[in-house]
Amino acid sequence: MPLPLLARFLLPATQPGGQAIRTPFFSRISEITETGGPLSSQPGWLQKILLIFAWGLLVSAAARPQWIGEPIELPTTGRDLMIAADISGSMKYEDLELNGAPATRLAVIQSVVGDFVKRRKGDRLGLILFGTHAYIQTPLTFDRQTLGTLLQEASIGIAGEQTAIGEAIAMAVKRLRDRPQQSRVLILLTGGQNTAGEISPAQATQAAAAEGVKIHTIGIGADTLTVRSFFGNRTVNPSAELDEKTLREISEATGGQYFRARSTNELMQIYQTLDQLEPIEQEAEVLRPKTELYPWPLGSTLLIFFLLSLININLFKWLHSIRDVFYRANKDSNQGTGN
């Protein structure tokens, strides 16, 4: 701020009567200033005040002022949690109920898992859908609403009619292995057995255990289902294809748990249990948003200079006088050479 005063008092002053710039027509300029021309006018008190304000504003802009907002706690994840949902042909059985009416296994999963996703605030969630092949429907994200929407839009058979459990596990491991080691969790829901994929469940489980991925498996489907036919009603086991032995081995090898959901209520209870998973404690990240304020003093400085140009209306007269000086000097020079 005091730089102009330091320059005024510390820099050597111009000698009296001296010339800062040597010009062949200096006498002409002297005549104009001595006769009270426009160049002899000095800045008035208003101009000086405006210049002081302009300098202060320029220094303020150079200091880069910022407005620091209130602290905002960023969402921190206790778990990096992938959900692998079976959408193969085994999920079309209407052996469960939803709101008192028969519903497919997939519809029940969409309802129960959808509520589970809404409750997992602070977790980074991802969604894998698998049938004959496994697909990443949603990468790990804090956007629980989008994940829930994509889960609701899933339909049976879009990934094939067979079941690739090993491929789904391998894909989850690939997505989770770069995350913090103690927070990698996979919840796998299926109503059948592995019938497709180039990777067996045993191979995928071995990779998951090596990468520290904990897998909770859920076998879904009722034990009995009454089927109406032309010859009358008969009772079948819609979960006959469910490979509970493999699902239990997957969970035990990775430190997870195996759950059996024979009804919608059981599935809800399972997810209430999973909902109690204690998150890994991490230091909360706090963000204080910053808003740059330097455009305001900088813009105000430009406005002051604009006002100065309006106040110093004689500026145009000065430019006109300087033009006349150049014109006269050039004319005298031509006369002196006889041109």
Buried b (16+ CB within 10 A) or exposed e, 64-94: eeeeeeeeeeeebbbbbbbbbbbbbbbbbbb
DSSP H helices, the chain, are 3-10, 26-34, 45-62, 105-119, 144-152, 165-176, 201-211, 244-254, 264-274, 295-311, 315-336
Same structural domain for residues 178 and 280?
Answer: yes
Q: What is the C-alpha separation between 183 and 196, in angstroms, rounded?
A: 29
- Does residue 224 have a pLDDT over 90? no
85 and 228 co-located in one domain:
yes
217 and 98 together in one domain: yes
Mind listing the pLDDT tens digit for each residue in 270-309?
888 887 765 555 556 677 888 899 999 999 999 988 887 7
- Give the model's pLDDT for residue 40: 43
276 lies in the same domain as 306: no
Q: Residue 137 pLDDT more than 70?
A: yes
The verdict on 270 and 243 lying in the same domain is: yes
Residue 195 lies in a domain: yes
Given a cut of 80, whether residue 72 has pLDDT beyond it is no
Q: What is the pLDDT of residue 37?
A: 45
Q: What's the CATH number where 267 sits?
A: 3.40.50.410
Q: What is the mean pLDDT of the chain?
A: 81
Structural domain that includes position 304? 45-68+291-311
Tell me which of 132-141, 208-217, 297-306, 326-335 is least confident: 326-335
* Position with higher pLDDT, 217 vs 98: 217
Classify residue 254 as exposed, middle or buried by CB count within 10 Å of its CB (0-12, 13-18, 19+): buried
Torsion angle, alpha carbons of 205, 207, 212, 216, to 10: -20
Assess if residue 75 is contained within a domain: no
pLDDT confidence of 7, banded at 50, 70, 90? Answer: confident
Contacts 24+ apart (CB under 8 A), 209-212: 209/253, 209/254, 211/173, 211/176, 211/177, 211/184, 212/181, 212/182, 212/184
Q: How confident is the model at residue 29 (pLDDT cuts 50, 70, 90)?
A: low
Q: Is the pLDDT of residue 266 over 80?
A: yes
Prediction pTM value: 0.60
Domain match, 191 and 207 both: yes
- Helix H or strand E segment including 130: strand 124-130
Does 335 fall in a domain? no
In the prediction, which pLDDT does 79 show? 74
pLDDT of residue 171: 95
State the amino acid at position 263 in one-letter form: S
pLDDT for the residue 35 = 46
Confidence of residue 38 (pLDDT cuts 50, 70, 90): very low
Based on the structure, what is the number of domains in the chain?
2
Q: Are residues 60 and 88 in the same domain?
A: no
What are the helix and strand counts (H, E) for the chain?
11, 14
Other Cβ atoms within 10 Å of 55 Cβ, number: 15
Indicate whether 210 pLDDT > 90.
yes
Residues 262 and 281 in one domain: yes
Residue 282 forms part of a structural domain: yes
pLDDT, average across residues 83-98: 88
Q: Give the residue-averaged pLDDT of 28-49.
A: 58
209 and 121 both lie in a single domain: yes
Structure tokens at 142: 């804090």
